[in-house]
Chain A
Amino acid sequence: MKKFLFSLVLGLFTTIIFANNVQITNLTRSGNTISFDISWENSWYLDQTYHDAVWIFVKQAPNGGPAWQHVDLVPFAVGSGFQTLTPSDQKGIFLRRNTNGNGTSSTSLTLSCQGLIGAFQDLKVMAIEMVYIPEGDFYAGDGASSGRIAAGDDVSMPIEITSDGPLTCGTSATDIQYASGVCEDIPASFPVGYDAFYMMKYSITQQQYVDFLNCLSRDQQENRVLADITGSTVTNYYVMSDGTVPDKGNVIRCDVNVGTGPITFYCDRNNNGIANEADDGMNRACNYLSGADWVAYLDWSGLRPMSFLEAEKASRGPLLPVQNEFSWGSTLWNDNGTLENAGTDSEKWSNSYIDGGISTYDDDVIRVGANAPSSGASRELSNATFYGVIDLGNNPGDFYIHNAYVSTFSAEDGDGILTGNGAANVNSWPDYETINSTRIKIPVQTFGISTLSIALTGASNGGGGRGVRSNF
C-alpha cells in the first residue's frame, strides 16, 4: 500500500481558458457619471459555475488632491453580453460575461460616482482580474502537510466542508482537528470557503502597489514601505527592500529628493531614474510586503483577506487531496531557470512552459502569470488552481488568515479608508500592525498548499498576497 490518500483528477471544462491583460481606455466624464471601455483577454464563462470577472473601484482627489478618497459606485449601463454585480456597500463593482463563452471580453461601462467632494475631482479607475470560486463542498487538509486541518477521527484524512455552518473540534469524522497546535471551534461567521467568493487571479503586482502608495498621504506612505522615508531625502530609495538597488526582483523606488509632501513612487528595474520604462518590471508580483501592508492594500481596494480554508477551496476545488500538493494540484516542483525578457510584459523563466510547477521561493519575483503559456497550458504548467487562480502560494507567497483567528475574523470587506497612518482598520481583521507575524503559503518543496505552519515576520522578500470578496 503506497498511499492512503490519492487524487481523482478531472478535466471538467476543457474549453476554459484564463484571463489576463485587463485594459481601461477612453474614459470620459459627465457630471457624476464616468464611461469607459474595458477589455481583458482569455476570459471565460461556463454556466456561471466557472467564470472570471473584473473588480472595478474608483478613487477621487477632491480639488486635485493631494488626498485620495474612495468613491462608491452604482452601475448605470453595460454592454450587451455582460453584467455587473453591485455589492451592498457599493465599494466597487464586478463585471463579467453573462453568457457562455470565452476569449477576449470587451465592453463599455457607465458608472455613477457617489459622494464626490470638492469643486472638482481627479479620478482614478482601477481594475483587477478576479476568478470566481463557486459555492460547494470541498476537502480541506491533505493528510500530510505540516499543521494541516484534518478530520476529527483521523489526522491523516481531510475533512469535507459541506456547508457554511460552524465546525466543531472533536473526534468524529465531521469534526475538525489539526495535525499540530490548538483546535478552536470555528463559528459560522468565519468564512470556511463553502460559500462563493471571488479571488484575485494574480498576486498584487508592483504597479498595483505603486498606484496604492501614490494615493496615500505622506504619513500613510511612511508606514507602507520598509525604508525610512521620513526626511526630505531618501537614502535607500528602493523603498520596499530598503536598499539602493533592486533586491529579489522588487523594483519599487522613489527619487532621492522627495520633499515633505506625498512621494511619487515608480518602478525602475534598471536603476536609471527613469520611471516605468517598458522593461522596468511593473507587472512583477510585489514582494517585501508585510502582513500589515497586505491588509492595508486590501482594505483600501475594498477587498478582504482570504481564510486558510478559502485558500484550500480555491486551490483544490472539489477534487480529492493529493498529499503535499501545491496549488496546481500535484507535488510537481521545479526550480526556476534563468530570467528572460527581464522586466517586460513578456518576462518569463527559461523553463516556463516546459517544466511546470516552477517555484520562485527565495528567488526573484517575476511577472505575474509568467508561467502560463499561450497554448498547450495545463494546471501544472501554468501554476494554476482548479478554478484558474495563478500562482496561489507562489511568486512570492500568499498571506492568509489562519486558524488562530477563527473566533474573530469574518467576511467583512475593506471600505477603502485607512487610518491616518495607513493601517487597515476593519474591525474583524487581525491587527497586523502589532502582531507582526503573518501566516503564509510558500512553495517550499516540503510544504504544500495545506500547510498551516509557515509564518513571516515583518516585510521580507517572500511576503506577498492577494484579496478576495464574498459580498457581491
Chain B
Amino acid sequence: MKHIGLTILVFFVFFNKVLGQPSYIYEGGLGGSYDIDTSIIIDKYLFQGGILSGYTSETSTITNEFLFTGGNADGYDILKSESESSFVFNGGNGDGYTRSGKSHSGATFFVGGNSDGYDQYTKCQEFIWTGTVGTGWGVAENWNYTIVPTISRPVIIPAGAPFYPNVNAGILSIGDNPNNGEFVCKSIWVQNGGELYTRINNFIENYGMIQIDGYMQVKNSAPNAFVNYGAGMILVTESGVVEIKP
C-alpha cells in the first residue's frame, strides 16, 4: 500500500492544482484514504472515490456533464458509468490510473459539407447609354459616365434615349475580345423600349451575355455577321425582338 499511498497523494495534488474550481466536487469514501460508494449528480463535475482503498468509485449516474468514476480495486480507476450526453472515461479493475476508452454520445458534431467557407461577388458598374449627342457607340458623351465602355463593362440600353446606338462597321465584341474588336463590353442589356442597331459592315462576336427585352436589328447577311462563341448566351425575352435584315 505504500505505492498506492503515493498515487493518492499525487492525484490529490494534481486535482487541487488543475481542477480547483468552485463547481467541481471532491468526495471522500467509506473506507480508507479517498473514496466513495455511489453518487447521483446533475449538472456538475464529478470525481468519486471507491469502496476499497485509494481513489475509486463503484457506480455513478450523471446527466449532461463530465464524468470520472473509480473502480473496485485500488488506485484510480473506473468501474461503471451510466451517462447521458457526456463523454465518458472508463477505467478497469486494476490499479493506478487507467483509461480504457472514451465515447462521443453525439453523432452529429462537427459536420462538414462541400465547397468552403468563403465567397466573393463582383458587381461591375453598368454603363448606361444616354444617346445625348448621336448614335455613335464610341462617343463618350453618349454614355452616362462620359466614358466609352471597356471589355469589363456591362452595358444597358434603356428606353427613352434621344438616339440609339448604331454600330456601322468593325467588330462588336461582348465578353471577350480575341480579335481586337473596336467596340467592346462585358454584356449588353437592351431594355424594353430600348434599341440597338448593327449595320452591314459590322460583325458581332458574343462570348458574354446579350439580353434583348427591346429591339435589336442586325443588318448584315454575311454568315459570320452574328456569332455566338463558347459560353456566350443570347436571351430574347417575351417583349424582345431581334430582326435580321440582309
Interface stretch of the complex, out of A5-13, A302-310, A456-464: A5-13
Are the CB atoms of B110 and A10 closer together than 8 Å? no
Are the CB atoms of A122 and B124 closer together than 8 Å? yes
Contacts of A128 in B (CB 8 A): 117-118
The verdict on A18 contacting B114 (CB below 8 Å), with A10-B66, A11-B86, A11-B87 known, is: no
Instruction: Output the least CB separation between A416 and chain B (Å).
Output: 15
The verdict on A126 contacting B119 (CB below 8 Å), with A11-B105, A11-B106, A64-B153 known, is: yes
* Mask: chain A, 144-183; 1 = CB below 8 Å from B; 0 = not: 0000000100100110100000000000010000000000
Contacts of B118 in A (CB 8 A): 22, 126-129, 202, 205, 207-208
In angstroms, Cα B116 to Cα A200, docked, is 11
Instruction: Output the least CB separation between A8 and chain B (Å).
Output: 5
Q: Does A241 contact B (CB under 8 A)?
A: no
Q: Tell me the chain B residues, 103-155 only, with Cβ under 8 Å from chain A.
A: 104-125, 145, 147, 150, 152-153
Are the CB atoms of B86 and A377 closer together than 8 Å? no
Are the CB atoms of B119 and A20 closer together than 8 Å? no
Instruction: Output the least CB separation between B44 and chain A (Å).
Output: 12
In angstroms, Cα B112 to Cα A375, docked, is 8
Q: Does A379 contact B (CB under 8 A)?
A: yes
The verdict on A20 contacting B112 (CB below 8 Å), with A2-B96, A200-B117, A207-B118 known, is: yes
Are the CB atoms of B120 and A125 closer together than 8 Å? yes
Instruction: Name the residue of chain B whose CB is nearest to the CB of A14.
Output: B106
Instruction: Output the least CB separation between A174 and chain B (Å).
Output: 11
Tell me which of B45, B98, B106, B122 contacts A2 (CB under 8 A): B98
Contacts of A382 in B (CB 8 A): 109-112
Q: Does A23 contact B (CB under 8 A)?
A: yes
The verdict on A64 contacting B122 (CB below 8 Å), with A1-B97, A41-B113, A42-B113 known, is: no
* Mask: chain B, 1-28; 1 = CB below 8 Å from A; 0 = not: 0000011001000100111000000000
In angstroms, Cα B123 to Cα A34, docked, is 10
Are the CB atoms of B120 and A211 closer together than 8 Å? yes
Contacts of A377 in B (CB 8 A): 107-112
Contacts of A345 in B (CB 8 A): 114-116
Q: Tell me the chain A residues, 189-238 only, with Cβ under 8 Å from chain B.
A: 200-202, 205, 207-208, 211
- Chain A interface size range: 35 or more
Give the secondary structure class of B's interface: loop
Instruction: Name the residue of chain A whose CB is nearest to the CB of B68.
Output: A8
In angstroms, Cα B119 to Cα A97, docked, is 19
Q: Does B85 contact A (CB under 8 A)?
A: yes
Are the CB atoms of B112 and A371 closer together than 8 Å? yes
* Mask: chain A, 15-30; 1 = CB below 8 Å from B; 0 = not: 1111111111101010
Contacts of A160 in B (CB 8 A): 18
In angstroms, Cα B120 to Cα A211, docked, is 8
In angstroms, Cα B65 to Cα A14, docked, is 12
In angstroms, Cα B130 to Cα A78, docked, is 35
Instruction: Output the least CB separation between A130 and chain B (Å).
Output: 8
In angstroms, Cα B121 to Cα A15, docked, is 32
Are the CB atoms of A129 and B117 closer together than 8 Å? yes
Q: Does A74 contact B (CB under 8 A)?
A: no
Are the CB atoms of A14 and B109 closer together than 8 Å? yes
Contacts of A119 in B (CB 8 A): 145, 147
Are the CB atoms of B19 and A320 closer together than 8 Å? yes
Q: Does A313 contact B (CB under 8 A)?
A: no
Q: Tell me the chain B residues, 63-113 only, with Cβ under 8 Å from chain A.
A: 65-66, 68, 85-87, 89, 96-99, 102, 104-113
Contacts of A4 in B (CB 8 A): 10, 14
Contacts of B7 in A (CB 8 A): 1
Are the CB atoms of A2 and B97 closer together than 8 Å? yes
In angstroms, Cα B120 to Cα A373, docked, is 25
Q: Does A120 contact B (CB under 8 A)?
A: yes
In angstroms, Cα B109 to Cα A378, docked, is 5
Instruction: Output the least CB separation between A210 and chain B (Å).
Output: 9
In angstroms, Cα B113 to Cα A18, docked, is 9
Q: Does A121 contact B (CB under 8 A)?
A: yes
In angstroms, Cα B101 to Cα A324, docked, is 18
Contacts of B147 in A (CB 8 A): 63-64, 119
Contacts of B97 in A (CB 8 A): 1-3, 6
Interchain Cβ contacts under 8 Å between A and B, 23 examples: A2-B96, A4-B10, A6-B97, A8-B45, A8-B68, A11-B85, A14-B108, A20-B114, A21-B113, A25-B121, A120-B145, A122-B123, A123-B122, A123-B123, A123-B125, A124-B120, A124-B122, A129-B118, A158-B18, A205-B116, A371-B112, A372-B111, A377-B107
Question: Which residues on A are within 8 Å of B, measured CB to CB?
Answer: 1-6, 8-11, 14-25, 27, 29, 34, 36, 40-42, 63-64, 119-129, 139, 151, 154, 157-158, 160, 173, 200-202, 205, 207-208, 211, 283, 320, 345-346, 367-379, 381-382, 384, 388, 390
Question: Which residues on B are within 8 Å of A, measured CB to CB?
Answer: 6-7, 10, 14, 17-19, 45, 65-66, 68, 85-87, 89, 96-99, 102, 104-125, 145, 147, 150, 152-153
